[in-house]
Amino acid sequence: MKKKLLVALLLFTQSTISFSQTAISSPTPKHRYNRPNLIHINLRLHQQFMELQAALKAGKITVEQSNTLIANIKQINQQKKDSYKKENKDDLTSDSVTQLDQSLDESEQNLTASGVPYISPTSNN
């Protein structure tokens, strides 16, 4: 009797374990940080904003200049958001990245012309 009960209990636990394992194993969702184009644009936007803050803090530009340059950076960020929503994909397309990179290049030139020094993304500042 004890052997039958033990075998039944053993079979029950094995079937429960195998059922729970199949219920848990579902498709792995895409990681939200697996968006290299979006990350690239976000890093460039962040870098320009940090350069702007450093120049303002050092007194190399005025508050009015910084407000104008910040508005430009915010406009590019809004373009990025609009492109991301319009494309309705996991990441920005290469065309969007090219267009945003051109806007960021122009913004970088405006920053440099305003007296904001370029900070290398590899620097430890």
Token pair for 23: 């219920």
Q: By the 8 A CB rule, do 87 and 96 touch? A: yes
Tens-binned pLDDT, residue by residue, of the chain (125 aa): 666 666 666 666 665 554 444 445 555 555 566 788 889 999 999 999 999 999 999 999 999 999 999 999 999 999 999 998 888 777 888 899 999 999 999 988 888 888 777 665 554 44
- Return the DSSP state at 88: T
The overall pTM is greater than 0.95: no
